[in-house]
Every structure is written in structure tokens, then in C-alpha cells.
Amino acid sequence: MFKAIAVILKMQQSIGHKSELSIYTSVYYGVRSGSIYQVFNLLKQTQFMRLFKSLVFGFVFLYAIPVQAEKITIAVAASFMPAMNEIVALFEDVNKGDQVEAVYVASGRFSTQIRQGAPDDLFFSADTKLPQMLAADGFASGEVKPYAVGRIVLWSSTLDASDLALERLSNKTIRRIAIANPRHAPYGQRAVEMLREAGLWFQIEPKLIYGESISHAAQFAQSGNAQVGILPLSLVMGSTLSEKGVYRLVSDTLHQPLEQSFIVTKQAGEKAVAIRFAEFIESEEAQAVIARNGFTLPKR
């Protein structure tokens, strides 16, 4: 009893209204008697209820303010475009409010741009070497993570490439062959390795036309400017190329493995949405998309 009165006195002192002391005393006895209706009517006369109303209004106001969407920009190898478009859509559907802008070009160009201060939050390369070099030089916020292993195909819209042997590329009827520029595109580098390993480099090299990215090389082949394109399986399977031409898978023993890796860049190390997206890449949903688009999943 005395404790209750002391609490009431303290409340009265903090509020500063002597007239409310008798109200709080009545509240106490109302609680003791179990009369909730009486307690509620008494509290309506006090600053306590006015404070309660203010708090309720404040919460309603805060929740009424729309949350600003978080957005990240990811630099993605052109060979991964079909798969990444699908993964981004899945991620944004699960993470309402998060936005991911994917930009596609040759991996080497992205690597250079990141070194020069480009505001990319994640970098998905068509190889592992470029992300490793960036990480070694302090441009990554964490470890280099493999996400896919690619394959190379011979694709043509004018020839039946389903039985096109590499040796036939030296045939005089095939005048132009499109590959990605090996100076900054890993798939272009593997195409050169493949031709050298097959002993065809000197016969084929004069026929080569170079795209600035693997997508550009595919455009050469699709338009007919090149009779054959040496392209990623993923780009063929994930685009209209599969409907407009025929391809043959090239043995992966003729070139170094096309393991593809990604990093979260240093400037995005504390961005929650960037971390969520990096984790999503390793989810079952994303892994299924990657496998469906012509990639082999890396060993974990």
C-alpha cells in the first residue's frame, strides 16, 4: 500500500500537476478493485493518456513515411548476362525495396574501371584472375568467391555447326570468325588458347574479327559478318542465339578452365543490400538459374 502511494507521489512530482494526484490514487484503487472501465476513464483525464496518444500518433507517422529503397550497381561479365538478369529479378522479388542495376561489358574493362574509382558494388568476372588481382591490391572487401564454370561453343547461323570440327575452321569457305577481344575478355583469351592448343592458330588468326565484349562478338556472328562465332555456351542458351543458329560444344581440355568469380568491392563492404545479394548468389534459387543457363557449378 505504502509502495503504491509512493509511486503515485513520484508520478505526481514528475508531472507537476497536484490536481492529478487524486486521480492517480483513484486509479490505484480502481486497479485493486478490478474496475478496468473506471481506470480507463480516470486515465483519460491525465497527462499519461495525452502522452500515450502522442506516442501512438508518432508511431503511425513514422510507419506512414515510405522507406527509401536501397540500390546497388553490379559490374557483370557479358557472358553471364542471361543468368544474371534472371537472378536479379528473383532477388528483387524476395527483397522488396532493394534495387540492383546490372551493367554488362568485358571483364577486363570493369577491372580497370574499378581501379579508377568506378562506383561498382560487386564485380562478377568471366574469370578468377581479375578478381584475385583486385583483392590483392585492396579493392575487395572480402574473399574472392567462384560462382560458375563456363564452356565454349562454335556457333553459326549459316552453317550446321552441330558437327563442325575445329579443323574445318581453316576451310576457305569460312572467311570470318568472331571472338571477344582477348586483351580484356577472358572468353577471348580461352578461344586463343583453344586454337593454339589445336595447332590452328596461324591458319585461323587472319580470319578473326574481335568484339569489344563477348556480346559484341555474338552480334558479329548473328548478323552474318562472321560465319562462325566462338562463344560462351551460357550466352547461346540464354538468348535467341539458340533459336537462330546451331552450336557445337568445344572440349574444355583445349584451354584453361573458365572458372568465374566475384567480389564485393571495398566501397560496398558495409552496404547491407550488397552483402544480401552476395549471399543470394549462393542460394539454391540462384544456383539453379546458373546451372540452367549452361554453366557448371563450382566445387564448394
Summarize the confidence of residues 174-189 as an average pLDDT. Answer: 96
How confident is the model over 125-148, as pLDDT tens digits? 999 999 999 999 999 999 999 999
Domain end among 64, 90, 113: 64
The answer for residues whose C-beta is within 8 angstroms of residue 261's C-beta and 6 or more apart is 125, 127, 128, 131, 132, 144, 145, 146, 147
Q: How many domains in the chain?
A: 3
Mean pLDDT across the stretch 67-89? Answer: 90
The answer on 110 and 157 residing in a single domain is no
* pLDDT > 90? residue 10: no
The pLDDT of residue 16 is above 50 = no
Q: Do both 14 and 162 map to the same domain?
A: no
Instruction: Give 30-33 contacts, CB < 8 A, sequence gap 24+.
Output: none
| Contact (CB, 8 A) for 197 and 255 | yes
Q: Are residues 98 and 241 in the same domain?
A: no
- pLDDT at residue 234 in the model: 93
Above 50 in pLDDT, residue 120? yes
Is residue 299 in some structural domain? no
Please name every residue paired with 73 in a beta bridge, in sequence order, or none if there are none. Answer: 101
pLDDT for the residue numbered 39: 41
pLDDT confidence band for 250 (50 / 70 / 90): very high
Q: Provide the domain limits for residue 155.
A: 151-254
Per cent of the chain over pLDDT 70 is 77
For residue 72, give the H/E element and its range. Answer: strand 70-77
Residues 93 and 161 in one domain: no
* Within-domain flag for 297: no
Q: Has residue 157 been placed in a domain? A: yes
Residue 44 lies in a domain: yes
Q: In whole angstroms, what separates CA 295 from the centre of its chain?
A: 17
Residue 7, pLDDT above cutoff 50:
no
Of 168, 179, 172, 181, the C-alpha closest to 229 is 179
Helix (H, G, I), strand (E, B) or coil at 123: strand
For residue 162, what are the contacts with CB-CB under 8 A and spacing of at least 6?
246, 247, 248
- The cell numbers describing 253, all together, are 581440355
Which of 54-68, 78-92, 221-235 comes out lowest in average pLDDT?
54-68
What pLDDT, on a 0 to 100 scale, did the predictor assign at position 9? 40
CA distances from 253 to 125, 152, 155, 189, 249 (A): 21, 11, 19, 15, 12
Residues 274 and 128 grouped into a single domain: yes
23-76 pLDDT per residue, tens: 444 544 444 454 544 544 544 555 545 544 543 344 444 444 444 568 999 999
* Domain identity same for 55 and 137: no
Cα–Cα distance, 271 to 114 (Å, whole number): 17
Task: State whether 198 and 250 are in the same domain.
Answer: yes
Q: Are residues 248 and 178 in the same domain?
A: yes
Query: Does 221 lie in the same domain as 274?
Result: no
Same domain flag for 60 and 120: no
How confident is the model at residue 189, as a pLDDT? Answer: 97
pLDDT for 137: 97
Tell me, yes or no, whether 212 and 277 share the same domain.
no
Share of the chain above pLDDT 90, in %: 73
Q: Are residues 245 and 167 in the same domain?
A: yes
Q: In this predicted structure, what is the pLDDT of residue 161?
A: 93
Domain membership flag for residue 298: no
Q: How far apart are CA 126 and CA 120, in angstroms?
A: 16
Within a domain: 53 = yes
Instruction: Determine, yes or no, domain membership for 93.
Output: yes
Q: How high does pLDDT run on average in the chain?
A: 84
| Boundary-marking domain end, from 64, 82, 115 | 64
Separation of alpha carbons 296 and 290, rounded Å: 8
Q: Please report whether residue 193 resides in a domain.
A: yes
For 67-71, 158-162, 202-206, 244-248, which range has the lowest pLDDT when averaged over its residues? 67-71
Of 64, 83, 104, the one marking the end of a domain is: 64
CATH of the domain at 172: 3.40.190.10
Model-level pTM?
Answer: 0.75
